[in-house]
Amino acid sequence: MEGNPIYYPKNNFKALIPWLKISHVRGMHSRLFNSLLDQYSSPENILACDLPTLRSFGLKSSIATELSQIGRGKLSGEIKVALDRCLCWLECPGNFLITSQSPYYPSLLTCIPDPPPMLYVKGKFETLSLPVIAMVGSRKPSAGGRRDARRFARELAGNGLGVVSGLAMGIDVESHRGSIEGGMPTIAVLGTGIDIIYPAVNRAMFEDISENGVLVSEFNPGTPARPQNFPQRNRIISGISQGVLVVEAGVRSGSMITARFALEQGREVFAIPGSIHNPMARGCHKLIAEGAKLVQCVEDILDEKLVLAEQHGAQNSDNPVSKESRARHLPELLITVKNAIGFDVVSVDQLVLETDLNVNDVTVALVELELRGLVRRENNGYVLMDC
């Protein structure tokens, strides 16, 4: 990893500076940043554009002007302070910054409609490559809902699946706790800057996750809790996961937003039913009526994730398994995708065309193949590993 300019190794900040500068432009947001990257390929190219070129792209006058000034080396005092804060945070052990052009960027996120251009990461970086299920629900769940969240997370962990959630009170915290108790790392996606603990009462869990998993945020350090940030972060919770389990939720809640994102991203949606008298069960009942899978035990989820269950069995075998052996016993989906990959780099889009599979199936298969050591990411594509 050392020396990779788009993944943070210690003391290699230079290549990240253009990303950080653009991200701090007032009015910049992920969709606009992604559009600029699509047009100009890199932050350096964006900042090399003159004002007329930036205006011709359709940018607001204020954004185009600030980008042009930054490109000419004129940084406002506000941006200088913000950059210092970011670089100071990156100096701390266990803190990382990944860009969307990095080979270490979570592969499932690359396929959602609006992937975050940058991810601030704190903790065990390798957790981002593990298969996970999102668990979401009410901030004020019933006692039964709390127990269900913790138990399901613990049992999912026992079957080789980590949990991703949002570090909110209630179902989120219980899900994180259950995953750690089950021996799997957990991922918390924040709606604030990575250096902000919100709510403050979750400080102990924040620190526990940084040691037993990973904290993730697309927001720059110092970003406070704002209402609009939390629905935005929910697309990452669903996008980084294999599927979303809704434990308890009202009909109008952030959990329902996450479930909607999951459907748009082609992810599985699961819901635990509850009492008809519990208002926090109505969101789950609505999802089930609309086609989400009714879940009563963890096996109901594993039935939809046979590839992951088989992988877990291989990981927990007493006998070492060679690459050749793993390749001989691959499920049909993985065989199809593996056979379409050669020793030259092939992109996800090319694999979709080659296999006639949908994007979600291809990306899930690639994650599995990478975890099995049969393929590796290289230059935003995939190649076979030498067996």
The verdict on residue 118 lying in a domain is no
**CATH number of the domain encompassing residue 236:** 3.40.50.450
Q: Which residues of 375-384 are buried (b: 16+ CB within 10 A; e: fewer)?
A: bebeeebbbb
Model pTM score: 0.77
Domain boundary among 37, 70, 92: 92
Same domain, 167 and 296: yes
Same domain, 80 and 158: no
Is 219 within 8 Å of 194 (Cβ atoms)? yes
The verdict on residue 107 lying in a domain is no
The verdict on residue 114 lying in a domain is no
Least confident of 105-119, 144-158, 328-342: 328-342
Q: Which residues of 340-360 are buried (b: 16+ CB within 10 A; e: fewer)?
A: bbeeeebebeebbeebebebb
Same domain, 245 and 203: yes
Q: Which helix (H) or strand (E) holds 121?
A: strand 118-123
DSSP letters along 143-170, please? Answer: HHHHHHHHHHHHHHHHTT-EEEE---TT
The verdict on residue 245 lying in a domain is yes
Q: Which helix (H) or strand (E) holds 133?
A: strand 132-136
* Structural domain boundaries enclosing 79: 14-92
Same domain, 321 and 356: yes
Same domain, 140 and 80: no
Total domain count, the chain: 3
The verdict on residue 97 lying in a domain is no
Q: Using one digit for the tens of pLDDT, what is the confidence trace for 273-324?
A: 999 999 989 999 999 999 999 999 999 998 875 344 344 333 433 333 333 3
Domain boundary among 281, 302, 323: 302
Same domain, 364 and 274: no
The verdict on residue 112 lying in a domain is no
- Cα four-point dihedral sign 65, 71, 73, 77: positive
Same domain, 236 and 273: yes
Q: Using one digit for the tens of pLDDT, what is the confidence trace for 185-242?
A: 999 999 999 999 999 999 999 999 999 999 999 999 999 999 999 999 999 999 999 9
**CATH number of the domain encompassing residue 355:** 1.10.10.10
Same domain, 153 and 264: yes
Same domain, 153 and 292: yes
Same domain, 210 and 331: no
Report which of residues 63 and 306 the model is more confident about. Answer: 63
The verdict on residue 104 lying in a domain is no
The verdict on residue 252 lying in a domain is yes
Same domain, 181 and 56: no
Q: What is the pLDDT of residue 318?
A: 37
Domain boundary among 280, 302, 324: 302
Same domain, 248 and 325: no
